[in-house]
Amino acid sequence: MLTSSVAQAPIRAGKGEGETVGIALLGFGTVGSEVFRLLQENADAFTHRIGGPAEVRGVAVSHVGNKPRPGVPKDLLTDDAAGLVTRDDIDLVVEVIGGIDFPRELVLTALNAGKSVVTANKALVAARADELAAAAEATGADLYFEAAVAAAIPVVGMLRRSLAGDQVERISGIVNGTTNFILDAMEATGASYDDALAEATRLGYAEADPTADVEGHDAASKAAIMASLAFHTRVNFDDVYCQGISDITAGDIQAANEAGFSIKLLAICERLRRDDGTEAVNARVHPALVRKEHPMASVSESYNAIFVESEAAGELMFYGNGAGGNPTASAVLGDVVGAARNIVHGGRAPGENTYANLPIASFGEVRTKFHIDMEVSDKLGVLKEVAGVFARRDVSLRTVRQEDGEETARLIVVTHSAREEVLEAIIDELRALDSVHAVHSVIRLSE
């Protein structure tokens, strides 16, 4: 008999056709204000889509009187978010605050009270999926989070529903608009990383503290969510290997262009087959070289693109604006309609299902290819010495390119596929050679 990872709650009956769904909106920033506006302006349409009116009955903000909030009746505003989510007239809680600890308390309080939840909070879902799913199952509430991955691009729904009858093998993509904007600007203009980041900040693509974006943490949260859904295995944020783009230089971009590649920050989730025949799951985020002819290389500015490879459906591509108030609000409202329909008519959305419970593979088990840019002594025998390091570990070289300098030479090698742990050991050995003055960059290939 097949069982879920958590106990199944009975399906609750709906309130009935025409009944009102009371909504608590937590947060009124860029996304929250847009969600509120669209619910008001398109109230009739939402009533028809849901089967009853959707009424915002409270808006939780940090300080009620600290700034004007046009269009919101003052009697809807409250700084008591915990009290709001447990009110009897609230059926559905929409969380668009961000962060982990405080939203976690609110979402768990709502779910434990039997209130369905829609959240756009990727960090929360990636870090606390286990307890959120358990709380939802215990009370029969819905937990929706489409907006947590790539905003309006329907990735979560695709994995939860559209490909529910298929076996997903691999997901790869650009899921962070800030880093894609920076890398695209560096490639298009020749700008340094610092200059491109400054421009992204000026235009509003980067936060005042861009760490979560540029160090890959935002993308890693999304990778954890996608891997969990795709492989029916709980993958947490801490399971995701994470490397950002802050070390990428204009020279790296130029070298990639000369070799026919673009550099993109990719989130990659894949099913691995081990030598003993067992399967495991790996999720990782890191800069990668993407061939110019691949559609991913042409993804510009702050846009996102996600490729899914599955057993029956084959290769699928999803493309669009993966961030911003309007696209994120669109995804949130799509979830609001789904959750509200269940509240009116009864039934539940697909919940967490981690039946496969595959082991999490270490990053060292992943097979990849390296593009290595080195500065070496310009003398006879150096190439042979460098090639010997790869040969001793049974790693073959795909291409070798040398550019002569005044006293040293630039040597760029691209490997064939090998285990990550082997290639990392090779890099350590190269750095120890007297003839290798510096290993300027090591960038993985995506093919």
User: Which of these is catalytic: 222, 264, 292, 384?
Assistant: 222
Label residue 9 by pLDDT band (50, 70, 90).
Answer: low
- Average pLDDT of the residues in 16-20: 96
pLDDT at residue 12 above 90?
no
What is the pLDDT at residue 64?
86
Label residue 10 by pLDDT band (50, 70, 90).
Answer: low
- Average pLDDT of the residues in 169-176: 97
- Average pLDDT of the residues in 110-118: 97
What is the pLDDT at residue 8?
57
Label residue 1 by pLDDT band (50, 70, 90).
Answer: very low
pLDDT at residue 95 above 60?
yes
What is the pLDDT at residue 322?
81
Q: Which long-range CB contacts under 8 A does 250-255 form with residues at least 24 apart?
A: 250/186, 250/190, 250/191, 250/192, 250/193, 251/373, 251/440, 251/441, 252/373, 252/440, 252/441, 252/443, 253/183, 253/186, 253/187, 253/190, 254/190, 255/371, 255/373, 255/412, 255/441
How big is the CA angle at 355 (ends 349 and 356), to the nearest 5 degrees?
125
pLDDT at residue 76 above 90?
yes
- What phi and psi, each to the nearest 5 degrees, are found at residue 290? -120, 130
Averaged pLDDT of the chain? 93
CA distance 420 to 388: 18
- Which residue type is seen at 166? D
What is the pLDDT at residue 325?
86
pLDDT at residue 2 above 50?
no
Name beta bridge partners: 56.
23
Q: 2-11, 66-75, 306-315, 345-354: which range is least confident on average?
A: 2-11
- Average pLDDT of the residues in 167-196: 96
- Average pLDDT of the residues in 391-415: 91
- Average pLDDT of the residues in 308-333: 93
pLDDT at residue 4 above 80?
no
Top pLDDT among 243 and 4 is at 243
What is the pLDDT at residue 3?
36
What is the pLDDT at residue 199?
94
Q: 43-47, 63-67, 142-146, 218-222: which range is least confident on average?
A: 63-67
Q: Annotated catalytic, 384?
A: no
